[in-house]
Amino acid sequence: MTDIPENVKGVIEFDPWLKPWAQVLSERRYLADQWVYDITHATPDHSHQSLAQFARDSYNSYGLHADHNTKKIHYKEWAPNAKKAFLIGEFNNWNESSHEMTHKDEFGNFYITLEPTHDGKFQIPHDSKIKVMFELQDGSKIYRIPAWITRTTQPSKETKEQYGPTYEGRFWNPEQTYQFKHQRPKFNRANDSLRIYEAHIGISSPEPKIATYKEFTQNLLPRIKYLGYDAIQLMAIMEHAYYASFGYQVTNFFAISSRYGTPEDLKELIDTAHSMGILVLLDVVHSHASKNVEDGLNRFDGSDHQYFHSLASGRGEHPLWDSRLFNYGHFEVQRFLLSNLAFYIDVYQFDGFRFDGVTSMLYLHHGTGEGGAFSGDYNEYLSKERSAVDHEALAYLMIANNLVHEMLPESGITIAEDVSGYPTLSMPREMGGGGFDYRLAMALPDMWIKLLKEKKDEDWDIGHIVHTLTNRRHGEKVVAYCESHDQALVGDKTLAFWLMDAAMYTDMTVLKETTQTIDRGIALHKVIRLLTHSLGGEAYLNFEGNEFGHPEWLDFPNANNNDSYHYARRQFNLVDDHLLRYKYLYEFDRALQLAEKHHQWLNTPQAYVSLKHEVDKIIAFERNGLLFIFNLHPTESFADYRIGVEQAGTYKIILNTDREEFGGHARIDEGSRFHTTDLAWNNRRNFLQVYIPNRTAIVLALE
């Protein structure tokens, strides 16, 4: 491989099929590496600085900062299209001329320092309202919330009626800030498992309301700990003016959503999670931004192309999301976004990020229309003629990964929400890859929903199920999941709803005999989760409530439902009601997570599938020394069923979906021991024989 460029030799030695596109991969890596060089040498004397230092210096320089020693407040804003800038707010009675900012560099930065008051206090009181007013070249005035603001709040009812629903900027400077007490949990990316509980603060209550950070800390963290998850992925944290956007129309990138509480409340939540050994990931939205003007980044300095591609270019707005698209090739945009990541790592102690909308970022067609139909042909990603890759967005993602892993070398986690399967995206940067630790296995929930929607159990294609669960790039880790928040939203249905539908409202009580619908639903819900967990990836994700088969979809208050919160909640009360069968699924999910924690099959080499029997509907595979056996047949149970296994010895059951406490029928004797016979079977050196009832699964381990 002497003709392979040195900067991508690692990925091509790992996957020789990439060799024809070595030059393309090399050019893409070179762009990111060049940006890293430019950023790390962007100092007045051109001396070297780290990415982390650049990002930290940026968020500590731009925006509003209070010096608690001198009681001075420093404010810096980048607005190259503005002629003049003025800081206004309650502190100066919204006087539009008293606090003009200095415009003293060629990059479009404005500065001001506010001296302390005569009695030695900060000139701007804590939590008071502020704005920046720009005067444009034509003399017109525009009013904006500072771009780096760390606190925005909803206006009062009176303000809404008078001025509209625009969010209000606040100067957050409490006398007492939350002090972190606990170290980040250690996470070894090479060896440790990752079991993620995806959660949305606002819906994390059975009551029809917006739940708070404090309520999540008190009520949800103990549940997540009990269930055995070791990471939480928090959605809708970055401030978004429209609650029903699910957090995906961000207005203020450095402000956390005030509807759930204060910045100090979120710090306490994350610190408490750390005390439980739980990592906390942020669902970060750098793929696009809200079109809101007065409380967002759109037209911030009066131009349409400050942070974004211009509208005239055709690249400035998303064709489906009605949002603005960042210009990742612009140095100041790189500064803003990279420092945003550093800010959440440092200030809130997040342990990593799930990057939203990576497919949209990676391609000029944003994964929409005909461009979104990916077959896996390398030409679709790497051919100069056929691919539509946005090289600048890809380079940004590469350096974002550099930054996270530089700041959190021992524990930082990055996950890409990418449905396209871009090759090398989840391979290390030093090898020539994109740098992500994982990508989401987005084909898996689609397969399960399609199966439940379109086929009877007896018609399930076992080979297709196994292929979909194992069809991932070698050496690129994925997060497997059966369903996420996407499947819970109105317009779709959760697995539990597809399986049991209206029967969940009438037949989940233990006070009457189970029905065929409920019996099938509970059995398959467990089997599907275990099969996805053990075969589908190197990490696992569950959306809150799905672990116990939440009976209803998710619908945020909006005009179509009369602003109702009835479906914008998670009914954990159903689990706590011992007369309902939801407790069975909840306890099974706990047993599943704890079995993986103890025996560990995630983040190990992919399973060896020895059996996928279309008639018997049996799947058997080995992973990390464990033997997994599934019977998906709707009616047939099998006695003395022969299963091939590589390692000889005596096996015992460590997990069994048919336990009574999991809503099963206790047909399997867990005291049984299974002794191998030294005779090859299904390409394995030995076999053992098991009783495997219909719609059940067992996991065996060597004694």
- pLDDT of amino acid 514: 96
Assign 161 a pLDDT band (cuts: 50, 70, 90).
confident
Enter the DSSP assignment of 515: P
Q: Please pick, among 356, 418, 519, 622, the residue that the annotation labels catalytic.
A: 356
- pLDDT of amino acid 362: 97
Q: Please pick, among 417, 437, 507, 538, the residue that the annotation labels catalytic.
A: 417
- pLDDT of amino acid 490: 67
Asked whether the predicted pLDDT for residue 1 surpasses 60, the reply is no
More confident residue, 387 or 394: 394
Q: What is the pLDDT of residues 328-368, one digit of tens each?
A: 999 999 999 999 999 999 999 999 999 999 999 999 999 99
Assign 194 a pLDDT band (cuts: 50, 70, 90).
very high
Asked whether the predicted pLDDT for residue 648 surpasses 70, the reply is yes
Residue 105 CB contacts under 8 Å (≥ 6 apart), including other chains: none
> What share of the chain has pLDDT > 70, as a percent?
99
Asked whether the predicted pLDDT for residue 197 surpasses 90, the reply is yes
- pLDDT of amino acid 384: 84
Q: Which position has the token pair 């099938």?
A: 520
Catalytic site includes residue 417: yes
Domain annotation for the chain: domains and CATH numbers: 6-48 (no CATH), 54-170 (2.60.40.10), 608-702 (2.60.40.1180)
**Whole-prediction pTM value?**
0.97
- pLDDT of amino acid 565: 94
Residue of 570, 524, 514 lying closest to 545 (CA atoms): 570
- The CA distances from residue 143 to 76, 153, 171, 412, 626, in Å, are 16, 16, 16, 38, 62
- pLDDT of amino acid 2: 60
Q: Of all helices (H) and strands (E), which one includes residue 559?
A: none
What rounded mean pLDDT belongs to the chain? 95
Distance of CA 399 to the CA centre of its chain: 18
Catalytic site includes residue 356: yes
More confident residue, 326 or 375: 326
- pLDDT of amino acid 376: 86
- pLDDT of amino acid 108: 95
> What's the angle, vertex CA 86, arms to CA 80 and CA 87, rounded to 5?
115
**Strands (E) located in 97-170:** 102-103, 109-114, 129-136, 141-144, 152-153, 168-170
- pLDDT of amino acid 39: 95
* 11-20: average pLDDT: 96
Residue type at 466 in one-letter notation: V
- pLDDT of amino acid 628: 98
* 651-663: average pLDDT: 98
